[in-house]
Amino acid sequence: MLRLFSLFLSLSTQGKIILLKTIFLSQYSFVLFKIKPTWIRFGQLNQQDKEDLPIDWELVKDVKFSIYAVSKWMPIQLVCRHQAHVAKILLNQYKIPFKLYIGFRQGDDKSIQGHAWTEVQGLQITGFCDPKEYVIHAVYS
């Protein structure tokens, strides 16, 4: 716990704010997926890229780190869909263009495995995987 506190103190003010937002949004997303998953909206399907918008990469780095840290240290299990939902909310709030992918692949036991990941101009923010392993079902932005 002391390590977490010292890590929190070492963050910038912006990083601290994003981390606190991520803690709240992660709990919100976890509960929402449990009680009413039909209310979840990932964004617009297959929208045009907004590549010309300037991106604050320091902000993207803070969002990426906070989602990673919260999913690692929270007592609830935050899987890829929770992380992608939180990333969508934060990136929308800061007006950072993103793509959220939903993909499927066949597992070793012949089962179908789903996965969600978020990218900002090709940089994965959540759900770190090899996208080539998945058949992409939907792309939200």
The alpha-carbon radius of gyration of the chain (Å, integer) is 15
Predicted local distance difference test score (pLDDT) of residue 13: 92
Structure confidence at residue 52 (pLDDT): 67
Tell me: the pLDDT tens digits for 96-138?
999 999 999 998 898 999 999 999 999 999 999 999 999 999 8
CA–centroid distance for 66 within its chain: 10
Domain assignments of the chain as residue spans, ordered by start: 2-140
β-pair type (135-140, 123-126):
unpaired
Q: Is the pLDDT of residue 8 over 90?
A: no
- Compute, in degrees rounded to 10, the torsion defined by CA atoms 13, 14, 17, 21: -160
pLDDT digits (tens, 9 = 90+) for 54-88: 899 999 999 999 999 999 888 888 899 999 999 99
Q: In what order do the strands lie in the sheet with 112-120?
A: 123-126, 112-120, 99-106, 135-140
Q: What is the pLDDT of residue 25?
A: 93
